[in-house]
Amino acid sequence: MSDTLTQYKEIVNAYIKEVEEFIETHDLVTLRPFDEYRDKQVWGYDYSKDQIYYEQVSMFRANLFGIEAFINKDKAETPQRLHQNYDLLLKQITSELRRLETLLFRAKQRIDFYQSLAHVVSNFSYGEY
């Protein structure tokens, strides 16, 4: 195995460890009862926390895509006999990208919920319901 591939593995493993640490210590805000969301400060606090979570996970995903692209470029420039070593590393990255995609989907659904909730609460305030 080449030194370059070993360095890639170290970089990918360190980055995935950073992602895992973030995921273990951060999550979406626990939803509150509907009545509490009539208070704009409560709604705004939860919305902003979940938006920050979404943006952080998006950044992790974008960075992993960049790492994957760089490794694919290097793989294309190496002899065919070494491609299997690169493939194992790329599978690891693909697996992590799928996990991040799932987390992003959850966060996006929550952000959409907050936006719908803002619409409903504002309509309650004006007496449309």
Reported as a single tens digit per residue, the pLDDT across 68-85 is 999 999 999 988 988 998
Higher pLDDT, 121 or 63: 63
Tell whether 117 is covered by a domain.
Answer: yes
pLDDT at 126: 56
Q: What pTM was computed for the model?
A: 0.87
Number of domains in the chain: 1
Residue 68, token pair as written in the block: 């994957």
Place of tokens 């919920």: 113
Domain assignment of residue 26, yes or no:
no
Calpha distance 52→123 (Å, rounded) = 26
Q: Is 27 domain-assigned? A: no
Domain that holds residue 114: 3-21+40-125
Query: Mean pLDDT, to the nearest integer, of 2-11?
Result: 90
Task: Please indicate, yes or no, if residue 75 is contained in any of the structural domains.
Answer: yes
On whether residue 30 sits in a domain, the answer given is: no
